[in-house]
């Protein structure tokens, strides 16, 4: 029987109740499009960021993370085109209520309308009789606004700056300095995990569309003449990639090998498509059928992207959580023109001179964290509670530690001893409040993969029971081997082989 997917409303209440994420400035009624992470959400977010960092920086030797200012010089966005082109269409009714025009059409029709101009959107609004979401009146006009947040820095003759609307510009303005420091070697990867800010017209769908959000991006600078090759392409050549092409969307998702894709797309690009898919299926444990790479056509994608596939996961609907963008030399060329700094690379061996091209791997951290919660959220009728089934290494807490009975000092003392042992290497939670069943249920809802109980046998045999979140199977393990056992389980060892089974469902 197919499990019903939770709604965003259900999940927002769940996240609030479990301390994952909730409205910012909540005691004052909140601010639209801004959310805070509670302690459990922060742990989950940091685990995702750690996984992303280890995986993508491990793709090549010359890939490194930098940390850059969130406030950037005005000319950064003259060069990037954001001051001129970073605009969204706003639909207005006679009462001046606003909603993003393409989103209003999508809400009405279920189709996408990215990249359309004002006249096209007005015509479609009239054809589909789109009404204001707030008051129900017809849409009477469409305007455009720039989505960046301006800042005036200092006093008197202040300096004009902007909160960055994407983290990508940070590696671009750092490229020249980093290339010199790193001894002029390509490909060069500069990654950023950090905040970006956009003045969204109508933030919606919980944390899926925010005004302040976290991105994880890897900008890969490379020689454009080598885009048709990749040294490691053979390792992915036979892997099937789940793609939906812009010119054949009626066929749905197709599964093509990288060799087949390389007939339409450069190998350098296809290789990274495969690595992105491996990250979601193998590292995040996203179900195969819930993942796809969705191609944007010329009208939908940014004009500077030669190739553009959105990374999408099926939640309530297919939802963009990232993208793979071949941005050509647009960014460095723009910064060279405005800054008057030479961005060219000269190959010492071939003497070839060029402005490096950029392949961008871009991920919305908040959207990916939300996706883990959405796809892992599993109501369990037998247990009469919800189980958050996410990969053990991503869970906020690795283990919960409980004394079987909280009114027995000897059990409490032993449980505290075990907790002290484990928390040196893992994020663990200690709980002695309520029945053991209720404590298990609380950890199920947080996604805690292993619950460790200390009972009277533990006092004599110096061992504990470990309960598996997903099937409630329990094994018995000596305390002396507990740290090693937990580590092996996180690395993928089969639970039933990690100790002596004492209860199996």
pLDDT band at 177 (very low <50, low <70, confident <90, very high): very high
> Own/partner pairs for 279-282, CB < 8 Å, 24+ apart?
279/52, 279/55, 279/56, 280/311, 280/313
Q: How many domains does the chain have?
A: 3
**Does one domain contain both 289 and 352?**
yes
Q: Among residues of the chain, what percentage have pLDDT more than 70? A: 98
Backbone angles phi, psi at 206, to 5 degrees: 60, -130
> Could you tell me the sign of the dihedral formed by the alpha carbons of 224, 230, 236, 238, in that order?
positive
**Does one domain contain both 190 and 313?**
yes
Q: Which of 435, 455, 436 is nearest to 502 (CA)?
A: 455
Domain of 463, CATH number, reads 3.40.50.800
**Does one domain contain both 343 and 415?**
no
Give the list of residues 6+ apart from residue 427 with CB closer than 8 angstroms, or none: 43, 396, 397, 398
**Does one domain contain both 285 and 244?**
yes
**Does one domain contain both 236 and 192?**
yes
Domain of 233, CATH number, reads 3.30.930.10
Q: Which of 271, 268, 249, 244 is nearest to 258 (CA)?
A: 271
pLDDT tens digits along 438-487: 999 999 999 999 999 999 999 999 999 999 999 999 999 999 999 999 99
Q: Is residue 437 assigned to a domain?
A: yes
**Does one domain contain both 326 and 204?**
yes
Q: What number of CA atoms fall less than 13 Å from residue 269's CA on the CB side?
A: 26
Q: Is residue 327 assigned to a domain?
A: yes
**Does one domain contain both 335 and 436?**
no
pLDDT tens digits along 275-318: 999 999 999 999 999 999 999 999 889 889 999 999 999 998 99
For 202-240, give one letter per residue: b (16+ CB within 10 A) or e. bbbbbbbbbbbbbbbbbbbbbbbeebeebeebeebbebe
> Own/partner pairs for 31-39, CB < 8 Å, 24+ apart?
32/203, 32/211, 33/200, 33/203, 33/209, 33/210, 33/211, 33/212, 34/210, 34/211, 34/212, 35/206, 35/207, 35/210, 35/366, 39/396
More confident residue, 86 or 404: 404
Q: Which residues pair with 466 in a beta bridge?
A: 452, 475
More confident residue, 400 or 99: 400
Report how far apart the first and last C-alpha atoms of the chain are (Å, whole number). Answer: 20
- Say what the pLDDT of residue 1 is: 40
Show the tokens assigned to 57: 């920086």
Give the list of residues 6+ apart from residue 382 with CB closer than 8 angstroms, or none: none
Instruction: Give the DSSP letter of residue 209.
Output: S
pLDDT tens digits along 13-41: 999 999 999 999 999 999 999 999 999 99
Asked whether the beta carbons of 361 and 327 are under 8 A apart, the reply is no
Per-residue pLDDT at 491 exceeds 90:
yes
Q: Is residue 33 assigned to a domain?
A: no
* Domain that includes residue 477, residue range: 397-503
Among 113-122, 175-184, 198-207, 347-356, which is the least confidently predicted range?
A: 113-122
Q: Which residues pair with 285 in a beta bridge?
A: none
**Does one domain contain both 269 and 218?**
yes
Mean pLDDT of the chain: 93
How remote is the C-alpha of 356 from its chain's centroid?
27
Show the tokens assigned to 403: 């004394």
Q: How many CB atoms lie within 10 A of CB 119?
A: 9
pLDDT band at 107 (very low <50, low <70, confident <90, very high): confident
Q: Which of 362, 363, 357 is nearest to 175 (CA)?
A: 357
Q: Is residue 490 assigned to a domain?
A: yes
- Say what the pLDDT of residue 243 is: 98
> Could you tell me the sign of the dihedral formed by the alpha carbons of 10, 13, 16, 17, in that order?
negative
pLDDT band at 348 (very low <50, low <70, confident <90, very high): confident
Per-residue pLDDT at 341 exceeds 50:
yes
Query: Mind giving me the DSSP string for 210-269?
Result: -SEEEEEEEEEEE-GGGTT--TTGGGTTT-EEEEE-GGGGGG--EEEEHHHHTTTS-HHH
Asked whether the beta carbons of 73 and 54 are under 8 A apart, the reply is no
**Does one domain contain both 64 and 185?**
yes
**Does one domain contain both 126 and 189?**
no
Q: Is residue 156 assigned to a domain?
A: no
Q: Is residue 380 assigned to a domain?
A: no
- Say what the pLDDT of residue 4 is: 67
Q: Which residues pair with 380 in a beta bridge?
A: 385
CA dist., res. 268 & res. 328, Å (int): 13
Report helix, strand and coil shares of the chain as percent, to nearest 5.
Answer: 35, 30, 35
Q: Which residues pair with 450 in a beta bridge?
A: 399, 468
**Does one domain contain both 358 and 472?**
no
**Does one domain contain both 216 and 337?**
yes
How remote is the C-alpha of 149 from its chain's centroid?
23
- Say what the pLDDT of residue 117 is: 75
Q: Is residue 479 assigned to a domain?
A: yes
Angle separating helix axes 365-376 and 39-57, nearest 10 degrees: 110
CA dist., res. 487 & res. 114, Å (int): 46
Per-residue pLDDT at 136 exceeds 90:
no
Q: How many CB atoms lie within 10 A of CB 146?
A: 17
- Say what the pLDDT of residue 3 is: 57
CA dist., res. 227 & res. 263, Å (int): 13
Q: Which helix or strand (DSSP H or E) is residue 62 part of?
A: none
Asked whether the beta carbons of 287 and 372 are under 8 A apart, the reply is no
Q: Which of 115, 111, 119 is nearest to 143 (CA)?
A: 119
> Could you tell me the sign of the dihedral formed by the alpha carbons of 392, 395, 398, 401, in that order?
negative
Distances (CA, A) of 433 to 404, 411, 436: 10, 13, 8
Q: Is residue 427 assigned to a domain?
A: yes
């Amino acid at each position: 029987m197919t499990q019903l997917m939770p709604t965003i409303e259900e999940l927002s209440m769940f996240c609030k109740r479990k301390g994952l994420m909730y409205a910012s400035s909540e005691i004052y009624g909140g601010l639209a499009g801004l959310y805070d992470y509670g302690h459990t959400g922060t742990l989950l977010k940091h685990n995702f960021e750690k996984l992303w960092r280890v995986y993508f920086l491990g793709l090549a030797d010359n890939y490194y993370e930098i940390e850059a200012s969130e406030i950037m010089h005005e000319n950064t966005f003259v060069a990037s085109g954001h001051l001129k082109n970073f605009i969204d269409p706003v639909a207005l009714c006679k009462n001046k209520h606003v909603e993003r025009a393409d989103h209003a059409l999508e809400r009405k029709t279920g189709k996408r309308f990215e990249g359309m101009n004002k006249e096209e959107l007005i015509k479609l609004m009239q054809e589909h009789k789109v009404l204001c979401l707030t008051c129900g009146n017809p849409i009477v006009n469409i305007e455009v606004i720039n989505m960046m947040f301006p800042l005036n820095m200092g006093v008197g003759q202040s300096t004009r700056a902007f909160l960055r609307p994407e983290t990508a510009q940070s590696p671009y303005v750092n490229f020249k300095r980093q290339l010199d420091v790193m001894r002029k070697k390509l490909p060069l990867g500069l990654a950023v995990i950090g905040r970006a800010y956009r003045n969204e017209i109508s933030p919606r769908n919980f944390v899926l569309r925010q005004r302040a959000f976290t991105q994880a991006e890897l900008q890969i600078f490379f020689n454009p003449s080598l885009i048709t090759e990749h040294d490691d392409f053979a390792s992915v050549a036979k892997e099937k990639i789940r793609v939906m092409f812009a010119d054949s969307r009626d066929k749905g998702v197709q599964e093509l090998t990288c060799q087949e894709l390389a007939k339409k797309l450069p190998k350098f690009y296809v290789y990274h498509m495969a690595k992105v898919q491996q990250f979601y299926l193998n590292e995040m444990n996203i179900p195969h059928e819930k993942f796809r790479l969705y191609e944007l056509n010329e009208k939908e994608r940014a004009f500077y992207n030669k190739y553009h596939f959105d990374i999408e996961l099926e939640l309530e609907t297919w939802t963009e959580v990232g993208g793979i963008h071949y941005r050509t030399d647009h960014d460095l060329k723009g910064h060279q023109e405005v800054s008057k700094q030479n961005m060219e690379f000269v190959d010492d061996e071939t003497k070839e001179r060029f402005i490096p091209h950029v392949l961008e791997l871009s991920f919305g951290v908040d959207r990916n964290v939300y996706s883990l919660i959405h796809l892992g959220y599993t109501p369990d009728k037998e247990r009469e509670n919800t189980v958050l089934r996410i990969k053990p290494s991503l869970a906020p807490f690795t283990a919960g530690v409980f004394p079987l009975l909280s009114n027995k000092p000897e059990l409490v003392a032993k449980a505290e001893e075990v907790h002290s042992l484990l928390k040196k290497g893992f994020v663990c939670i200690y709980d002695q409040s309520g029945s053991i069943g209720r404590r298990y249920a609380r950890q199920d809802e947080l996604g805690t993969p292993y619950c460790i109980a200390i009972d009277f046998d533990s006092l004599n045999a110096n061992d504990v029971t470990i309960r598996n979140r997903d099937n409630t199977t329990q094994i018995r393990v000596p305390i002396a081997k507990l740290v090693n056992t937990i580590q092996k389980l996180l690395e993928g060892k089969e639970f039933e082989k990690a100790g002596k089974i004492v209860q199996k469902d």
